Amino acid sequence: MPPLRFPIPQGTLDMLILQILSLESAHGYGIAQRLEQISRSVVQVNEGSLYPALHRLEQKGWLRGAWKQSETGRDAKFYSLTPAGRRQLAVEKDSWARLSDAVKLIFDEGGR
């Protein structure tokens, strides 16, 4: 039986992509792999939703795509964070932190 994996929560995919790209630029396949590695295989990313998300973020101006040679020697489209994307990541991190704090507070109260 495969290990139990969460489907990725709605709306957090964008944030995770921004977080991954804040460390270094990567191509789509790389991002998909890193998503799995970082979340220690507990988050399941539907590959079908990765590319629409990348293009949406690119259109919003948070990512920039450029064709570069990849580790296999073939050209791949590498995405990197724009300054606007970096600001957006900060905003999302902040609101995520507040949301999870709030949820935790509610759970703690309920447990007492």
Partner 1 sequence: MIELFNWFRRRSLERGLDRELQYHFDRRVADLTANGIPESEARRRVTGELGLANVREEVRDIWLTRWFRDFLYDLRFSGRSFMRSPGFTAATLLSLALGIGATSALYSLVDQVILHALPIRDAARLVLVDWKGDQVAGGFGSWNLMSYPMCRDLQQQTQFFDGVFCRAEIQVNLSAGGDPKPVAAEVVSGSYFPVLGIGPALGRVIEESDDAAPGAGPFVVLSNDFWQTEFGGAADIVGRKLLINQHPMTVVGVATAGFHGVDVGAVPVLWIPASMYAEAIPGADEDLLRRPTFWMQILARLRPNLTPQRAQAGLQPWFKAWLLENMVRPGFPIITADRRRQYLASSLELTSAPQGHSPLRRSLSQPLWVLFAATGVLLSLACLNVAGLFLARGSARGREIGTRLALGASRGRIGRQLLADSVLLALAGGVLGVAVAPLAVRALIVFLPQEGAASALRGTLSLRLLAFAFFASLAAGLLSGLAPALHAGAGSLVSSLRERAGTGFGGVRLRKCIVTLQVAFSLILVIGAALFVRTLAGLLAKGPGFETTGILSFAIAPVQNGHSRADAGRLVRRIDEEVRALPATGKSGAARYAFLTGGSWNNQMIIQTDRRIVTGNVNLNAVSPGFFSTLGIRILAGRDFDTHDSRPAGTLGLRSAIVNEAFVKRYLAGRDPLGTHIAVGSGPDAKADIVIVGVCTGFNYRDLRDNSEQAFFPLYESDDSGATFYVQVRGTPEQAIPSVRRIVRQADPRLPILWFRTLDNQVNRSLSTERLLAALSGSFGALALLLSLIGLYGVMSFVVIRRTREIGIRLALGATGASAVRLVLRDAVTMITAGMAIALPCVAAFGKLVQAQLFGVTATDPGTVAAAALTLAAGALVAAFIPAWRASNVSPTDALRLE
Query: Which residues would be at the binding site for partner 1 (CB under 8 A)?
Result: 27-29, 32, 47-49, 51-52, 55-56, 59, 65, 70, 72, 74-77
Least distance CB 103 / partner 1 (angstroms): 30
Least distance CB 109 / partner 1 (angstroms): 40
Please give the angle made by the CA atoms of 2, 5 and 10, to the nearest 5 degrees.
150
* Per-residue CA distances from 41 to 4, 11, 22 (Å): 9, 19, 20
Nearer to partner 1 by Cβ, of 39 and 70: the residue is 70
Q: Residue 65 is which amino acid?
A: G
